[in-house]
Amino acid sequence: METGLDGQDLDGKGLRVPSMRKLVVVFSCLLSCLSVEAADLETRRGAVVAELDTLPPLLESAQTCQRIGFHGLAGDPAWVELDFRRRVTPEQVAVFPARLPGTGAEQSGFPSAFTVEISDDPSFAARVKIAEWREPEAAAGDRLPFWMAAGNGASGRYLRITVSGFRTGSSGERFFRLGEVVVLADGQNAALRCPVQASASLDSSRRWEPLNLTDGYFWCLPLLGARRSTTVGGRTRIDSSPIVDGMRWLEVDLGRPEQIDEIHLVPAHPAGLADLPGYGFPPHFQLLADPDTPTANLLLDELMPIHPAEALPNPGAAHVMLETPGITAGRIRLSAHSLGRVGAGSQGGKREYVLALAELQCWRGGKNLAAGKPVTISDPAEGEGWSAAAVTDGFSSRHELLDWPTWLDGISRRVKLEGELATIDARLARWREDRLQQLLAIAVGSLVALAIVGIATIIWQRTAAAKRLVALQTRLARDLHDEIGASLSELAIQSDLARQHHQRQLDPGPRLAEIATAARDTLDHMRDVIWLLTPQAGTWRDLSHRLDSVANRLLNGIDHEVHVAGEPPEGRPTPQWARDSVAFLKEAITNARRHAAAERISVNIDWTDGLVLTVSDYGRGFDPAAAAGGHGLENLRERAAAMQAHLEINSQPNQGTTVRLEALNARRTSPR
């Protein structure tokens, strides 16, 4: 089977035959079509993952403060009530679960149904419903990071959550648990540190108490953004004694008196000290507004009981949030009376103590008034991410710090995208399973198709081989006639003349010399026929040498010129193309010698751009229109067509003849 110029498989007459390569291409196209759905899913998955990287992370808090939440008892009704101590118009209400460390979301006890209402009457005789929720499926509430609803414009001093859907404990008791309630108004948490009442509860000191609903401690770390911090916070130098009695402090200068609604203390958590959240947070301290002035105000007093008992358990990585409505101050100072221990202090090791804080924020109307403001530290330690400026740079030791609306909306978006991501992954898994089954079916079908094509190809090849054999026989007969027939006729004529000379007792020597010459020509023609039938053209350069040799041999004995120009290309011609080019040149030269009666013939072989063969004689010429039916010219046209080359024959009576073959595709016919 031969290969055409376009790389297709051809039979003996140039008919296209199915190939394994075609089937592979078809199979690949089919698989590509099947992969469109998966590609769309993967594209969406990449977009979801990219957006998730920009959203706030949902990080679990160790809750070292021991304040887990509120444990309510089932009742009719069962409720918790917040007193804002002022009239509030909620913009958003968020209810957080109370997740016990290490127990997972399924143990949070989050109620399965509840209603949120607001009123100016503590008995809720007159009330307005803000929102109502019922979990769409069993245990859905336990899996929520928090439940959130937008306000509806209703205002009031009291907010009540009435629970109607309870959980059942191992002993059959019915209960519910809540971790924290956040009510956004003017961008701030109006519920922070609000008094809480409940219909019935199971209280346990610090762990389960109503006040835990508004203490600012969550099961997760709120207000953290996606951007990573390059700073750690601010700190004092290392002390060898924990007791400092207010001599170690850090202070933020707001520049002028400002009204402050909330103050957030963000404990330090250096990246190299993963097991020390709340690094350097003082166990005994005071939070002061405008210290050392007549208007000084004590905002938070954590001095009792005295050292070494802990007035405030170390908050770990959780923010310490303090409500300060109506406070006006220009400076806020955190004054430590005892320092946090950071050294090992065991087996005679040196005890080390320090005051450290990642960030101090002062909030008013959703804006952090302390952002970028100057910070003074009593005896600062600088370097390795520690600096006074880091206390107001808007970052904790690990993450960017956000406001409440941004964080709540970001987490809500994260939960939605994570749900979509889980759906996409499930669909991709199903798609892969379905495609695997389809591919198996396609593979079986392809094997059957390949078997059928293989059998058809064998039959086709055998038919093509038979056609090629007939073509070979035809070509052999033509070449023997063209190349050998004339020489044998010449030998017969010269032999008869030599015999007549011998009978007449004339000198037969000249005729015998003619016979010898004709015999050598016949031998050369026979070699050419053998090469043309089974050509071994080798490289393009070998073909060029053969064309040059054939031209010089055929023109031996007359005035001639053979000129070769340019460089043959790299690679190899197809055997058929090489055969046709040599046969064309022999036909053109033979026609010139037999019919032109020319005294001089020139041959030009030009490889500058493809192959251009030119045979020019200076003989009698002819009229190409009158000689259109000649066998010699027809042979030239057939050879040129087989080579996909352009043929020009220019001749006029008594003006000579020029045959020009232009095969510019010669450089593109190398087989692979």
Over residues 157-213, the pLDDT tens digits come to 999 999 999 999 888 899 999 999 999 999 899 999 999 999 999 988 888 999 999
**Minimum mean pLDDT range among 164-178, 417-431, 463-477:** 463-477
Question: Can you tell me whether residue 322 is helix, strand or coil?
Answer: strand
Cis peptide before 294 (omega within 30 of 0): no
| Residue 630 to residues 619, 624, 645, Cα–Cα distance (Å) | 18, 10, 20
Question: Can you tell me whether residue 86 is helix, strand or coil?
Answer: strand
Residues 329-343: what's their mean pLDDT? Answer: 92
The predicted pLDDT at position 345 comes to 53
Domains of the chain (ranges; CATH) run 70-214 (2.60.120.260), 228-399 (2.60.120.260), 536-668 (3.30.565.10)
Indicate the pLDDT class of residue 119, thresholds 50, 70 and 90. Answer: very high
Residues 580-602: what's their mean pLDDT? Answer: 85
Question: Can you tell me whether residue 204 is helix, strand or coil?
Answer: strand
DSSP H or E segment with residue 435: helix 404-479
Whether 275 shows a pLDDT value over 60: the answer reads: yes
The predicted pLDDT at position 627 comes to 65
Contacts of 260 (CB under 8 A, 6+ apart): 289, 324, 327, 328, 329, 332, 362, 363, 364, 369
The first and second tokens of residue 392, run together, are 């107001």
- Summarised one tens digit per residue, pLDDT across range 612-624 is 999 998 888 887 7
Q: DSSP state, 558?
A: S
The predicted pLDDT at position 159 comes to 98
Residues 512-536: what's their mean pLDDT? Answer: 65
| Separation of alpha carbons 119 and 159, rounded Å | 7
Whether 633 shows a pLDDT value over 60: the answer reads: yes
Nearest to 169 by CA among 127, 92, 109: 109
Nearest to 94 by CA among 55, 167, 150: 150
Residues 393-407: what's their mean pLDDT? Answer: 95
Q: What is the dihedral of CA 104, 108, 109, 110, to 10 degrees?
A: -120
Nearest to 615 by CA among 581, 569, 579: 581
The predicted pLDDT at position 156 comes to 96
| Separation of alpha carbons 624 and 378, rounded Å | 114
| Residue 372 to residues 355, 392, 555, Cα–Cα distance (Å) | 21, 5, 100
The predicted pLDDT at position 224 comes to 94
> Averaging pLDDT over each range in 60-74, 95-109, 151-165, 552-566, which range is the top one?
151-165
Q: Using CB atoms within 10 Å of the CB of residue 324, give its burial: 0 to 12 exposed, 13 to 18 middle, 19+ buried.
A: buried
Residues 298-321: what's their mean pLDDT? Answer: 77
Between 312 and 429, the higher pLDDT residue: 429
- Summarised one tens digit per residue, pLDDT across range 83-109 is 999 999 999 999 999 987 666 656 789
Residues 526-548: what's their mean pLDDT? Answer: 72
Whether 505 shows a pLDDT value over 80: the answer reads: no
Indicate the pLDDT class of residue 9, thresholds 50, 70 and 90. Answer: very low
Between 2 and 188, the higher pLDDT residue: 188
In the predicted model, what is the mean pLDDT of the chain? Answer: 84
The predicted pLDDT at position 512 comes to 74
Whether 477 shows a pLDDT value over 70: the answer reads: no
Indicate the pLDDT class of residue 269, thresholds 50, 70 and 90. Answer: very high
Cis peptide before 97 (omega within 30 of 0): no
Nearest to 297 by CA among 325, 339, 337: 325
Whether 478 shows a pLDDT value over 70: the answer reads: no
| Residue 181 to residues 214, 528, 660, 661, Cα–Cα distance (Å) | 6, 103, 97, 94
> Averaging pLDDT over each range in 475-489, 516-530, 573-587, which range is the top one?
573-587
Indicate the pLDDT class of residue 8, thresholds 50, 70 and 90. Answer: very low
> Is the distance from CB of 131 to CB of 93 less than 8 angstroms?
yes
Between 304 and 319, the higher pLDDT residue: 319
> Is the distance from CB of 358 to CB of 105 less than 8 angstroms?
no
**Minimum mean pLDDT range among 4-8, 127-131, 296-300, 636-640:** 4-8
The predicted pLDDT at position 104 comes to 60
> Averaging pLDDT over each range in 36-50, 361-375, 554-568, 647-661, which range is the top one?
361-375
The predicted pLDDT at position 350 comes to 74
| Separation of alpha carbons 579 and 546, rounded Å | 11
Contacts of 285 (CB under 8 A, 6+ apart): 300, 302, 303, 334, 335, 336, 337, 338
Q: DSSP state, 480?
A: I
Residues 534-558: what's their mean pLDDT? Answer: 80
| Separation of alpha carbons 40 and 249, rounded Å | 57
Whether 640 shows a pLDDT value over 70: the answer reads: yes
Rg of the Cα atoms in the chain: 50
Whether 672 shows a pLDDT value over 80: the answer reads: no
The predicted pLDDT at position 45 comes to 93
The predicted pLDDT at position 464 comes to 78
Between 453 and 285, the higher pLDDT residue: 285
The string of DSSP letters for 439-460 reads: HHHHHHHHHHHHHHHHHHHHHH
Residues 424-432: what's their mean pLDDT? Answer: 90
Residues 406-420: what's their mean pLDDT? Answer: 93
| Separation of alpha carbons 568 and 44, rounded Å | 55
Q: DSSP state, 482?
A: I
